[in-house]
Amino acid sequence: MKSIKLKAFLLILAAFTLTLFTCENTDEMPQDQDTDNTFLMRSMSELMGQFNDNGDSDDTQNPSGNMVMDFCFEFVFPIDFYLSNNTITTINSIEELVEVLINSDDDLYINDISYPFDVLVFNDDTNSIESLTIQNDEVFASLLDACAFDQDDDNVCYEIYDPVCVEINNIYNETIILVYPNDCYAGLDGFSEEDFLDDCASNYDDHDGLFDNDCFDLVYPIVLVNSNGDTVTINSEEALLQYIEEWYAENCNNLDDCTFDFDVAFPITVEYYSENNQQFQTIEISSEEELESYVEEYCASNYDDHDGLFDNDCFDLVYPIVLVNSNGDTVTINSEEALSQYVEQWYADNCDNLDDCTFDFDIVFPITVEYYSENNQQFQTIEISSEEELESYLEDYCD
């Protein structure tokens, strides 16, 4: 758990209170400083674990999109840092700090921080983000120890997007909603099912269909641009989902009157499955018109009209599977991509009017399905022997 209990930290903080009255504050740059501040170096090392080599947020390390929750604390800028060449630089944002750290070398680097400075931390008892003042090295070290960064490597979550929402208060006592990709990531920050909001419906389905289709996948990074010309770079599908959720939470009091105010910046690259080459390929799309033409030609999907067994968030079919039609004809399907292609082709060959046309195949039992076990924190499989057993499984586990 990266967030810390504020009450415990305050007890540690109290132990150093008396030292604050004996410390002499100075605005002068310390001279002949040969050793680095090990506490600062530790915090900077841990901080850079939240970002990639380009300075972009690493989505696997920032599941909620809130630095206090994902990292353990958040620096309150501006902060003065001492550099190795005996100068002081004022950093005004986390982006500036990350840029300085990325561009550091043996000749010029940050080697100390100016006390006091403020940080934001999460108080479990009040369910709120609160401000703390770090007065000296000892208090800073205690903060880092309370964060228990060395425990994070053991916390590996599954990468299924099944969002859960929790409600906390920010530093201004305003209610904010954190959206985690799934309950595992929320659990790392100390939240349990009792904390999850009942209504965590994703706004992801409301945005431009470019981001949600069975025809192709976007190749990241992509750039989004709004009507004012503001841009944001998105590095993964998970980051896109989180960004859209956060945008709706921050900008839309009434979802019925609110539209995601960003378009994708062209050119974009998409990945698709080529039936001719039997492999995934990419293509660059240069404009909205070219995209519309591509979607119209290749992406008219009837896949959502077939049996819900093939399309759910509860489990995945283990392939191969066998389908049989009313005449007893069978076909073996070896992958989800092959299933989608087969269904599409069947509709194209057999249905002049989709309103009066139904996919004329059932699945042959037994089948094997794969699901995520919360008890064992891993994927497991189970064999289902009949239609009745499947219905029972769906009723019990797939609401």
Rounded Cα distance between 181 and 198, Å, is 15
Confidence class for position 17, pLDDT limits 50, 70, 90: very low
Confidence category of residue 101, pLDDT binned at 50, 70, 90: very high
**pLDDT tens profile 31-51:** 444 445 788 988 999 999 888
How confident is residue 1, by pLDDT bands cut at 50, 70 and 90?
very low
- Residue 205's contacts (CB-CB under 8 Å, 6 or more residues apart) are 212
Place of tokens 């009450």: 7
Q: How far apart are CA 30 and CA 21, in angstroms?
A: 20
Sign of the CA dihedral running 147, 152, 154, 157: positive
Q: What is the pLDDT of residue 203?
A: 46
The answer to whether the CB of 196 falls within 8 A of the CB of 183 is yes
In sequence order, the 6+-apart residues with CB closer than 8 A to the CB of 378 are 372
Is the pLDDT reported for residue 27 higher than 90?
Answer: no
Name the range with the highest mean pLDDT among 37-41, 76-80, 214-218, 355-359: 76-80
> Helix, strand, or coil here: 214?
coil
What are the backbone angles phi and psi of residue 312, rounded to the nearest 5°? -150, 165
Other C-beta atoms lying within 10 Å of the C-beta of residue 158: 15
Question: What's residue 251's pLDDT?
Answer: 72
Q: What is the pTM of this model?
A: 0.53
CA angle 270, 62, 239 (to 5 degrees): 20
Residue 368 pLDDT: 92
79-83, 176-180, 273-277: range with lowest mean pLDDT: 273-277
Q: Give the closest residue to 191 by CA, choosing from 52, 47, 314, 200.
A: 200
Summarize the confidence of residues 207-219 as an average pLDDT.
67
Distance CA(41)–CA(142), nearest Å, equals 14
Q: Across residues 135-141, what is the average pLDDT?
A: 92
Model confidence at 260, pLDDT cuts 50, 70, 90, reads confident
Q: Please give the pLDDT value at position 311.
A: 61
Instruction: Please give the pLDDT value at position 160.
Output: 67
Please give the average per-residue pLDDT across 362-383, as a whole number: 84
Of 85-99, 134-148, 363-377, the one with minimum mean pLDDT is 363-377
199 CB-side CA count, 13 A? 2
Model confidence at 303: pLDDT above 50: no
* Range in 170-179, 294-303, 372-381 the model is least confident about: 294-303
HEC profile for 140-194? HHHHHHHHCHHHHHHCCCCCCCCCEEEEEECCCCCEEEEEECCHHHHHHCCCCHH
